Amino acid sequence: GLAILPHFMGSRDPLLVPVLPEESIQREYWMSTRRELHRSVRLRVVWDFLLELCQREREVLLGPSATPPP
């Protein structure tokens, strides 16, 4: 069968083989909160942490050929 997996999941299993490696899939992350929390400092800290973590672990998430966004 075929499945779309993050690089860090597929690269750990030697039985999984990349198919169409030249294809790239973009993902977006959304955070949903109650309206009264939109300006919450705690929420901003969590969002900033997740953003920094994804940027730092870009190669793990997307693979070694991942290039930084413009």
pLDDT tier at 56, thresholds 50, 70, 90: very high
d(CA 47, CA 50): 5
Residue 21: how many CB atoms within 10 A of its CB? 9
pLDDT in tens, 8-52: 888 888 999 888 878 777 778 888 889 998 889 999 999 999 999
For residue 29, is it within any domain?
yes
For residue 69, is it within any domain?
no
- Pairwise pLDDT comparison (8 vs 64), residue with the higher score: 8
Q: Which domain holds residue 31?
A: 7-62
Number of domains in the chain: 1
Whether the pLDDT of residue 70 is over 60: the answer is: no
- For residue 59, the model assigns a pLDDT of 85
State which amino acid sits at residue 6: P
d(CA 65, CA 34): 38
For residue 39, is it within any domain?
yes
